[in-house]
Amino acid sequence: MTAEFRMGSTDGEHLSITVLGREHPDAENYWDRNWVISTISVAIGGFTGHVRASLRTDEVHRFNKELKSVNQNLFGAAVLDSMEHWITLTVKAESRGRIQVTGELRDRVGDGNVLTFEMAEVDQTYLGSWITSLDDIEEAFPVIGKP
């Protein structure tokens, strides 16, 4: 089973996170059980790339919760900040329904190359579909247990 979060279009600028499965499906503790194997793809400006990354279900859940708040209030920011610094993604509400999307993507843990990016032409109408896709990820790969 896989689940995907996509910002942007299939033929233009985009960032997508595809969750492929749990990294340690038989682990018994909260910290190990909530790692997921993901592929992050990006096409921004003249840059394209794919990174295989380990993310945590609690990071995705927190980002989705914050994104729902941004959508409801049209104020504030939602941040996906992965523990191992694979990705930092910020979605910030600005004036007149404009949404600023900025981020960094790293190709290796620790000392990898870093792509810093900003998505152009994003507005509040995109938030609903992003939340739906994050809800799908949460349903397929829920947070298991408590810290």
- Residue 136 has a pLDDT of 97
Q: Which domains does the chain have, with CATH numbers?
A: 3-140 (2.30.31)
More confident residue, 60 or 96: 60
Contact (Cβ atoms closer than 8 angstroms) between residue 42 and residue 15: yes
Residue 20 has pLDDT above 80, yes or no: yes
Residue 16, Cβ neighbours under 10 Å: how many? 18
Per cent of the chain over pLDDT 70 is: 100
Closest CA to 117 of 15, 10, 11: 15
pTM of the model: 0.94
